[in-house]
A and B are shown apart, each in its own frame.
Chain A
Amino acid sequence: GQQVMQIPQYQHVQEGEDFTTYCNSSTTLSNIQWYKQRPGGHPVFLIQLVKSGEVKKQKRLTFQFGEAKKNSSLHITATQTTDVGTYFCAASLNTGTASKLTFGTGTRLQVTL
């Protein structure tokens, strides 16, 4: 069935190092969304990508949508302890009558000083 996979599952970096998580789908996506979930919290929307090859930036975060619209990445430059959390991609997968929002498996980021 349609799935959204993420790698890596976990990454531990020292503050100041860069971090990247990748999201892959077996089918072409209409759009992709990224969410962040802090420890003990709930997922919070970060950004949405719609166009093929689209790149968006939010301060130290860079989001990219693949040319084939089957994959996406989130890159954080010079991580800070405030970046700690789990990052999820999410896609609206068409199931016939409407689309359901399906989340990836997530990448947990740990940042230490």
Chain B
Amino acid sequence: DTGVSQNPRHKITKRGQNVTFRCDPISEHNRLYWYRQTLGQGPEFLTYFQNEAQLEKSRLLSDRFSAERPKGSFSTLEIQRTEQGDSAMYLCASRKTGDYTEAFFGQGTRLTVV
């Protein structure tokens, strides 16, 4: 399967714990995006990378969120000291460089904070 892969698919964690999600993009895609989606809402932009460089991070994102893309391949999204409001679907997407390329999404990681 050469699509975008996300792990884990589901994560249940206790409030206050740290969690880390992984995204493996399509291999030749330079750009990688992280989105958060809650029920009935559209994907909310979190951050994105061009190769290994993190080009933008949403101002809505607290300092508890951090993302990395070492070597410009896979990416990780870490949430520290999780809160119940962090419960959502976290989507990763990748695309080739340029504004005229389509984005391919992974299946997402559903986070539930109890």
> Complex formed: what's the CA distance from A50 to B43 in Å?
22
Segment touching A, from B12-20, B61-69, B78-86, B102-110: B102-110
Contact mask B31-51 → A, CB, 8 Å, 1/0?
001010000111111001010
B103 A106 Cβ-Cβ under 8 A? no
Nearest chain B CB to A104's CB is how many angstroms away?
6
A residues near B41, Cβ cutoff 8 Å: 105-106
Residues of A within 8 A of B108 (CB): 42
Known: A30-B99, A95-B56. A100 touches B33 (CB 8 A): yes
B33–A101 touching, CB < 8 Å: yes
Q: Measured between alpha carbons, how far is A44 from B4 in the docked complex, in Å?
A: 12
Asked if B105 and A44 make an inter-chain contact with CB atoms under 8 angstroms apart, the answer reads yes
Chain A interface size, under 10 / 10 to 19 / 20 to 34 / 35 or more: 20 to 34
A-B contact count (CB 8 A): 60
Which of B43, B44, B45, B100 is the one whose CB lies under 8 Å from A31?
Answer: B100
Query: CB-CB < 8 A to B40: which residues of A?
Result: 108
Q: B107 to chain A: which residues have CB within 8 Å?
A: 42
Residues 18-36 of chain A: 1 if any B CB is under 8 Å from the residue's CB, otherwise 0?
0000000000001101010
In Å, the complex CA distance between A48 and B95 comes to 14
Beta-carbon contacts under 8 Å, A84-113 to B? 86, 88, 90, 92, 95, 97-106, 108
Most central of A31, A33, A95, A98 by chain B CB within 10 Å: A98
Whether B42 contacts A33 by the Cβ 8 Å rule is: no
Given contacts A31-B100, A108-B40, contact A42 B95 (CB under 8 A): no
Q: Is the CB of B42 within 8 A of A103?
A: yes
Binding site for B on A (CB under 8 A): 6, 30-31, 33, 35, 42-45, 48, 50, 86, 88, 90, 92, 95, 97-106, 108
Can you spell out 7 A-B residue pairs with CB atoms less than 8 angstroms apart? A33-B102, A33-B103, A88-B43, A97-B55, A100-B56, A103-B45, A105-B42
